[in-house]
Amino acid sequence: MEECVFCKIIRKELPSYSVFEDETDIAFLDIRPLNPGHTLVVPKTHFRWIWDVPDTGKHFETVAMIAKALRKTMKTEWIAADVAGMGVPHAHVHLVPRFPQDGHGEFVNGKNVKTIPAEQMVSIAETIRNGLASISKLISGGK
């Protein structure tokens, strides 16, 4: 789908704060973050809904790996996940690190967008990439 903003990010036509990419999925920081580290995990093939992704098991393995890296790098146990997919018509999962007194209450408030300077977004993305690298080494037996 040519006009889809996520498809444009996947094709590198738009910039992103990328944290992960493999042959089937890409993950990047949300530019309207609900908390620092708010990450979107997106299949590279355009599907309207997450439930249309042919191998949701593989996709959610990627989601889980990124959530584990977020827990470690953002120093929190609580990662909220949302698969509503209403904002952009391309399947995606939001992973939002949660913190005490983060202004959201029990559920993430989609109107409580944080302003995070670009330099800090670059730093957060690098921290998450480094966390993913250490998790990948653990999974692969240190190779």
Catalytic residue selected from 59, 92, 94, 104: 92
pTM of the complete model = 0.91
Query: What are the distances in angstroms from CA 120 to CA 83, 96, 113, 124, 136?
Result: 26, 16, 15, 6, 24
Query: What are the distances in angstroms from CA 46 to CA 54, 72, 91?
Result: 11, 30, 7
Output the pLDDT for position 110. 85
Instruction: Identify the structural domains of the chain with CATH numbers, from first to last.
Output: 5-139 (3.30.428.10)
For this structure, is 92 an active site residue? yes
Round to whole Å and give the CA distance between 32 and 138: 31
Per the prediction, the chain carries an average pLDDT of 92
CB 50 within 8 A of CB 56: yes
Beta pairing partners, 81: 95
Q: Which pLDDT band holds residue 138 (cuts at 50, 70, 90)? A: low
Q: Which pLDDT band holds residue 139 (cuts at 50, 70, 90)? A: low
Q: What is the pLDDT of residues 49-96, one digit of tens each?
A: 999 999 999 999 999 999 999 999 999 999 999 997 778 999 999 999
Is the predicted pLDDT of residue 141 greater than 90, yes or no? Answer: no
Cα–Cα nearest to 53, from 85, 83, 91:
91
Angle between helix 56-73 and 118-139 (nearest 10): 110
Round to whole Å and give the CA distance between 46 and 54: 11
